[in-house]
Amino acid sequence: MSPSDTRDLSGRARYGMTPSLHITVIQEREHSLITIFKLEGDIDAESYVLLQDKATEYYQTGTRRLLLDLSGVHFMGSAGLRALHQIDEMLRRETAGEDESNSGIVNGSFKSPYLKLLNPSASVARTLKLSGFDLIFDVFHDQQAAIDAF
Amino acid sequence: MTSHLPSLAESSEIETRLLATLKDKRILIVMGSYVGKRPMYERARELGAKLVVMDGPGHWTQAATAESLFEQYIEVDLYPSNTLADRAYQAIRKANLHFDGVATFEEFAGPLTSLLARGLGLPGHPFLSLAYCRDKTLTREVCIEAGIPSPRFYRIGSVEDIEVAAEQVGFPAVLKPVSGASSVATYRVDTLAALHQRYKQTMEAVREHLKSSDVHSADENELIWKNGFDMILEAFLDGEEFDVDCLLSQGEVVYAAVTRDLPQPYLREVGSQMPPAFPADKQDELIGFTAQVLQVLGFYHGAFHVEMKYTEQGPRLIGVNVCIGGPMHQLNRLVWGVDLVEQYLLSCLGLPIQPRKAIEPQTYILTSDLPSPRSGVIAHTNFLQPLDTHPHVIQKKVNVEVGQFVTGPESGVPDSLGEVMVFGNSVEAAEQIMAELLAMINLPLEST
């Protein structure tokens, strides 16, 4: 069986097709460094680069705190986790001190002070929990509470 | 263990010096796992390592600390689980100890162990690699993305996913937990109706069994469901099942050995054979496949137990365990003279490893599970006594208690009543010895 025999990977990732992720950017006015990405679609092997690129673009123009609104995300697999991890590492690299960046601990916690997650679907929340990503990312269900937590 | 077993080869001077570096090194053990891992801790203590274990209140390693198996026990509340890493780190800091390494023998503690190692500035696996291995759908996605062939699969989060899963995967298929281990709750399903029935039965059993959210690291069967009840449906693969125990050092495979899992009528391991009666070139293929999988997952060093099937199209992955399985320590040591615990602990210190594998197998080992032949109640537990004085029995173990009701194949997957491990001077000899021994065992089942 070849990789292509996997047909529709997990029923979601569509190799060779147009990425299915749409990102709306909201700049939080009262907190100039905080940017909110409202994501709609799937974060899969085709689309995760869109998220990474968008995060890099905003990072380069000053964003240092990112809130990902996942309420419109139906599926997030390994590629989505890789994107979250990579974005967090990027934000930590410049923002945290060298010790904090190396240890992964900021203010006594492994939770990222730079990247937070909002309203994941039940399915995405289970992926975060099963993979241990809930150990490093705070998950919120109220946007204001998430912003206040930065 | 009998005197008939060949003695282990003497370590070379370099190996002896390397092992001596473990003496007085303090290693943090993240989660003590189930009691079957105790011999691994005993081996570490023999090597002079100081083990400090971190786990929840009442774990068996707490009592073992009083017996001096561990230098210290760091107790931490395991719940809520999403803040466990922070609490664990604070508790470790409070203990005010200097650590030389961080290790775990608990499959489910991978991501936590990675974080703590990084927090303490010590070597550890990449967090992302361990995250991929905690969920079989993630492992498969990463492999497919890297061009490694994988069976069709679909994640089942609720009963609503079943029809789509069946359509995507087809039949025959295998249903199992995404975070599974030891073939727990693993079933072959041949029809949509069977899939519905198995999924419903599994969910009912899990919800009945998990009465509390306070799951302990000693309760492997419960840990599987700790973070959710998601299951994976994947295409059933024809072919024999094998395990590869593998040591990586600086990104290279420095040791690998293949074990054959004996035919599994119920998709549960019922025995294993090391070395396997399987062509050497195909064993090399299994090892090469293992190396490829570990590389794409991003691993660089450490000990791994990789499960796969050898199909007509070649090896196909079942799962990657980032720890040493209970009996595998003993099997690898006796057959190939390589102590996985020693090597793993050295790698946890950040040292390069290069174990010496025997050129020829030192012995031939066969293990056998004792599945219950029918449902009933256990009348007594001394049914393995006839094996007490047999010179080729390495180990035997009873898995049931007097009065316990056990399930036979007519009611589903049979319970395991016990396990036997024997050795011989060839594969055939070991098989013959096992057949003779199994014929001596009279399983004490009373009808209900």
Interchain proximity A13–B313, CB inside 8 Å: no
Residue A14, pLDDT > 50, answer no
A136-140, B332-336, B408-412: the lowest-pLDDT one: B408-412
How close B119 gets to chain A, by Cα (Å)? 4
- Please tell me the pTM assigned to this model: 0.91
Q: Note the pLDDT of residue B19.
A: 85
Task: Return the minimum-mean-pLDDT range out of A83-87, B178-182, B198-202.
Answer: B178-182
**A141 and B CB contact within 8 Å:** no
**What b-and-e string marks burial along B115-145, b requiring 16 or more CB atoms within 10 Å of the CB?**
bbbbbbebbbbebbbbbbbbbbbbbbbbbbb
Pairing assessment for the beta strands B314-321 and B26-30 based on DSSP bridges: unpaired
Is A30 touching B (CB cutoff 8 A)?
A: no
Please answer yes or no on whether A111 and B86 come within 8 Å at the CB atom. Answer: yes
Lowest mean pLDDT among A93-107, B69-83, B399-413: A93-107
Burial pattern B57-80, b for ≥16 Cβ within 10 A else e, equals eebbbbebbeeebbeebbebebee
pLDDT reading at B217 higher than 60: no
Contact A130 B179 (CB under 8 A): yes
A79 interface with B at CB cutoff 8 Å = yes
Could you report the per-residue pLDDT of B108-160, keeping only the tens digit for each? 999 999 999 999 999 999 999 999 999 999 999 999 999 999 999 999 999 99
| The predicted structure's pLDDT at residue B269 | 59
| HSE (side-chain half, CA atoms, 13 Å) at A75 | 25
Task: Give the model confidence (pLDDT) of A29-67 as tens digits.
Answer: 666 679 999 999 999 999 999 999 999 999 999 899 999
Q: Which residues of A touch B145 (CB under 8 A)?
A: 45, 78-79
Q: Does A81 touch chain B (CB under 8 A)?
A: yes
Q: Give the nearest chain B residue to A104 (CA atoms).
A: B119
Quote the minimal CA–CA distance from B261 to chain A in Å.
Answer: 22
Q: Which residue has the tokens 């390693």?
A: B61
Give the pLDDT confidence score for residue A29 in this predicted structure: 67
Angle between the N-to-C axes of helices B340-348 and B13-20, in degrees from 0 to 180, rounded to the nearest 10: 60
> Letter for the amino acid at B91?
A
Neighbours of A99 (CB within 10 A): 10
Measure the CA–CA gap between B163 and B160, rounded to whole angstroms: 7
* A76-88 pLDDT per residue, tens: 999 999 999 999 9
Among chain B residues, the shortest Cα distance to A45 is held by B145
- Which residues touch B439 (CB under 8 Å, ≥6 apart)? none
Q: Which residues of A touch B134 (CB under 8 A)?
A: 130-132
All residues of chain A having their beta carbon less than 8 Å from the beta carbon of residue B178 are 130
Asked whether B294 and B306 are in contact (CB, 8 A), the reply is: yes
Q: Are B317 and B150 in contact (CB under 8 A)?
A: yes
- The reported pLDDT for the residue numbered B389 is 92
Name every chain B residue with its beta carbon within 8 A of the beta carbon of A130.
134-135, 178-179, 227-228, 230
Does residue B68 register a pLDDT over 80?
yes
**N-terminal to C-terminal alpha carbon distance within chain B:** 37
A9 close contact with B: CB closer than 8 A: yes
Q: Do B132 and A111 touch (CB under 8 A)?
A: no
Confidence of residue A15 (pLDDT cuts 50, 70, 90): very low
Better pLDDT: B224 or B326? B326
Quick one: tokens of A18? Answer: 């147009």
CA distances in angstroms from B324 to A44, B28, B69, B345, listed in the order given: 32, 16, 19, 11
For residue B216, give how far its alpha carbon lies from the nearest alpha carbon of chain A (Å). 16
CA atoms within a 13 Å half-sphere pointing along the CA-CB vector of A111: 18
Task: Give the pairing of strands B173-177 and B72-75.
Answer: unpaired
DSSP code for A106: B
Distance between the two ends of chain A, CA-based, in angstroms? 47
User: What pLDDT sits at residue B266?
Assistant: 61
| Distance between CA atoms of residues B161 and A28, nearest Å | 37
Structure tokens at B389: 């004085």
Kindly report the average pLDDT of chain B as a whole number.
Answer: 91
- Please name the residue ranges forming H helices in B189-265: 192-209, 220-223
Q: How many CB atoms lie within 10 A of CB B444?
A: 16
The full DSSP string for B73-103 is: EEE----SGGGHHHHHHHHHHHHT---SEEE
Rounded Cα distance between A110 and A105, Å, is 5
- B123/B101 Cα distance (integer angstroms): 7
Per CB-CB distance under 8 Å, the chain B contacts of A110 are 85-86, 89, 115, 119
User: Cβ separation of A2 and B149 shorter than 8 Å?
Assistant: yes
Residue B300, min C-alpha distance to chain A (Å):
18
Residues of A in contact with B112 (CB under 8 A): 132, 135
Closest residue to B164, CB basis, from A6, A11, A139: A11
Residue B316 host element (H or E): strand B314-321
Q: Is the pLDDT of residue B245 over 80?
A: yes
